[in-house]
Amino acid sequence: MKNIVLFASGSGSNVENIVRYFQDKNNSVIISVVLTNKSDAKVLDRCNNLNINGLYFNRNAFYATDCVRDILKNINPDLIILAGFLWKMPEKIIKDFPSKIINIHPALLPKYGGKGMYGNNVHKAIKANNEQETGITIHYVNENYDEGAIIFQAKTQINSSDSVEDIANKVHELEFEHFPKTIEKLLFEV
C-alpha cells in the first residue's frame, strides 16, 4: 500500500483529479491528507465531497514550527505532491523527504518559472511573448522555486488567436491527463 499527501492553495481541481484517478483505478494508493495554506480554499470543499481528510495550516505552523513537518513525519508518505501549492517548501521538509516531493508547473521549465510564476501569471507571460507552445513540467522540489530535476514534460501548441483562458484550458488538459499517471509511475517504479 502506498500513501500520498497533497498540498494545494486554491480550487483543488488537480487534487480532485488525482483522488478520482486513484479511486477509480488503483486501490493500493491512499490519499492520507490534503494540506492547504488557505482556510477558505475551495480544495477543502472538494475534500469534504470526496471524503478525504483536509487540513488547513497557517504560515507559522509551516515555517516557524515543526507542526506540518511533524504531520508529514507521522504519515511518512511515499510521495508529497504539490498540486497548485504556492508557498516555498521549508528546507527541513525537503531534507526529510529527499526525492519524495514533486510539483507541477504550468509551463515548460526552465522557461516561465520562479517566484510569482503560477497560474494565469504564467499564461499571460506566455501570451505576451507570443510563444508557439507551452505545456506542463512535473519536477522534484528543491530549495529553489521550479528548479528541481525534471521528471516529465508535455507540450501543447498555441495559436496566435488563443486567449489567456484558452492557454490555461490547454494546460489544464495536460495536467489532468499526465499528473496522475506520472504519480502512479513514481509510486510503483521498481
C-alpha cell at 104: 507541477
C-alpha cell at 59: 504560515
Pseudo-torsion of CA 91, 93, 96, 98, nearest 10°?
A: -70
CB 14 within 8 A of CB 45: no
Cis peptide preceding 90, ω within 30 of 0: no
Of 101, 97, 179, 95, the C-alpha closest to 136 is: 179
Of 86, 81, 108, the C-alpha closest to 15 is: 81
Q: In what order do the strands lie in the sheet with 2-8?
A: 54-56, 29-36, 2-8, 79-82, 101-105, 133-140, 150-157
Active site residue 172: no
Catalytic residue among 105, 139, 172, 178: 105
Of 133, 185, 147, 178, the C-alpha closest to 14 is: 178
Q: How far apart are CA 145 and CA 162, in angstroms?
A: 28
Instruction: Provide the annotated active-site residues.
Output: 105
